[in-house]
Amino acid sequence: MENIQGSCLCGAVRFSCENNFNQFHLCHCQQCQKTSGSAHAANLFTAVDNIEWLSGADLVKRFDLDGRAITSCFCQACGCSLPYVSGTGKALVVPAGSLDGQPNITVDDHIFWEERACWYDTALTSQTFSGFPK
- What's the angle, vertex CA 89, arms to CA 52 and CA 107, rounded to 5? 75
| Residue 105 binds Zn ion (CB under 5 A) | no
Least distance (Å) between residue 69 CB and Zn ion: 9
| Residue 44 binds Zn ion (CB under 5 A) | no
CB-based contacts of 72-76 (< 8 A; 24+ apart in sequence): 72/35, 74/8, 75/8, 75/9, 75/10, 75/12, 75/13
Looking at the Cβ atoms of 10 and 85, the one nearer to Zn ion is 10
Sign of the dihedral through C-alpha 66, 69, 70, 74: positive
| Residue 91 binds Zn ion (CB under 5 A) | no
Among 26, 27, 91, 99, binds Zn ion (CB under 5 A): 27
Looking at the Cβ atoms of 31 and 127, the one nearer to Zn ion is 31
| Residue 77 binds Zn ion (CB under 5 A) | yes
Residues making contact with Zn ion (CB under 5 A): 8, 10, 12, 27, 29, 32, 75, 77-78
